[in-house]
Structure 1
Amino acid sequence: MEGKKVYLTSAEIASLWTAYMNDSMSKCILGHMLKHIEDEDIKPAIRYAYDISSQHLKQLVEIFNEENYAIPNGFTSQDVNEEAPWLYTDIFCLDYVNFMARVGMITYSGAISMSSRGDIRHYFTTALTETSGLYNMTTDIALSKGVFNRHPYIQVPKESSYINSKKYLSGLNPFSSKRPLNAVEISHLFMNIVTNVIGVQLCLSFGQTSSSKEIQQYMQRGKEISNKHIKVFADTLLDDDIPTPRLPDMGVSNSTTPTFSDKLLMFQMSLLSAAGTGNYATGAAASQRSDLALNYERLSLEIGQFAKKGADIMIKHNWLEQPPGIEDRDMLVSNKERQE
Structure 2
Amino acid sequence: MTEHNTKLTSAEIACTWTGYMNDSMSKCILGYFLKHIEDKEIKSIVQTAYDLSTVHVEKLRALFQREEIPLPIGFTNEHDVNKDAGHLYTDTFILTYVNHMAKVGMLAFSGFMSMSARKDIRLYFKEGLQEASNLYDESSDVALSKGLFIRAPYIPYPTEPDTVDSKSYFSGFTFFSKERPLNAIEISHLYMNIQTNIIGSKLALSFAQTSQREKIQNWMLRGAEISEKHVQIFGKALLDNHIQPPVPHDIAISDLTTPVFSDRLAMFQMSFLSAAGTGNYATAAAASQRSDLVVNYERLSLEIGQYAKDGADIMIHHKWLEQPPGTKDKEKLAKKKE
Q: Tell me, what secondary structure is at the counterpart of 2:85? A: coil
CA contact under 8 A between 2:102 and 2:136: conserved in structure 1?
Answer: yes
* CA distance in structure 1 between the partners assigned to 2:189 and 2:215 by the alignment: 33
Deviates further, 151-160 or 128-137: 151-160
SS at 2:296 equivalent: helix
Write the letter of the residue equivalent to 2:186.
E
Q: Take 2:299 and 2:333, find their aligned partners in 1: how far apart are those partners?
A: 41
1:159 shift after superposition: 1.6
Q: Does 1:39 align with 2:39?
A: yes
Q: In the alignment, what sits opposite 1:180?
A: 181
- What amino acid sits opposite 1:235 in the alignment? K
Look up the equivalent residue of 1:305 and give its one-letter code: Q
CA distance in 1, matches of 2:312, 2:107: 23
SS state of the match for residue 159, structure 1? coil
Letter in 2 for 1:134: L
Which digits, 9 at most, give the CA deviation of each residue in 1:267-299, with x for residues without a partner? 000001001000000000000000000000000
Residue correspondences, number:
335
Q: What is the identity percentage for the equivalent residue pairs of Structure 1 and Structure 2? A: 60
- Per the alignment, residue 291 of structure 2 pairs with 290
Equivalent residues in 2 for 1:3-152 (5 A)?
A: 5-77=5-77, 78-152=79-153
Structure 1 gaps of 5+ residues are: none
Q: 2: distance between equivalents of 1:138 and 1:243?
A: 24
Q: Which residue of 2 aligns with 1:259?
A: 260
On the 8 A contact 2:31/2:83 being kept in 1, the answer is no
CA distance in 2, matches of 1:4, 1:42: 39
Deviation at 1:247, TM superposition (A): 1.6
Structure 1 residue aligned with 2:208: 207
Q: For the aligned residues, what is the CA RMSD? A: 1.0
Task: After superposition, give the CA deviation of every residue in 1:37-63 in whole Å (9 maximum; x if it has no partner).
Answer: 000111100000000000000100111
Which runs of 5 or more residues in structure 2 are unaligned? none
Shift of 1:210: 0.2
Whole-angstrom distance in 2 between the partners of 1:167 and 1:214: 47
TM-score with structure 2 length normalisation? 0.98
Q: 1:40 is matched by which residue type in structure 2? A: K
TM-score (norm 1): 0.97
Shift of 1:82: 2.6
Letter in 1 for 2:113: I
Distance in structure 2 (CA, Å) of the matches to 1:54 and 1:225: 33
**Letter of the aligned partner of 1:331 in structure 2?**
K
Give 1:336 shift.
Answer: 1.6
Are 2:200 and 1:228 equivalent residues in the alignment? no
- Deviation, 1:158, is 2.2
Residue 171 of structure 1 corresponds to 172
**Within 5 Å, which residues of 2 pair with 1:290-329?**
290-329=291-330
- In 1, Cα distance between equivalents of 2:50 and 2:196: 21
**2:106 and 2:89 mapped to 1: Cα distance?**
24
SS of the equivalent of 2:321 reads coil
Q: Is 1:155 the counterpart of 2:156 in the alignment? A: yes
Q: CA deviation at 1:175?
A: 2.8
Which digits, 9 at most, give the CA deviation of each residue in 1:229-284, with x for residues without a partner? 00000000000011111220110110000000000000000001001000000000
- The answer (yes or no) to whether the contact 2:281–2:298 under 8 Å persists in 1 is yes
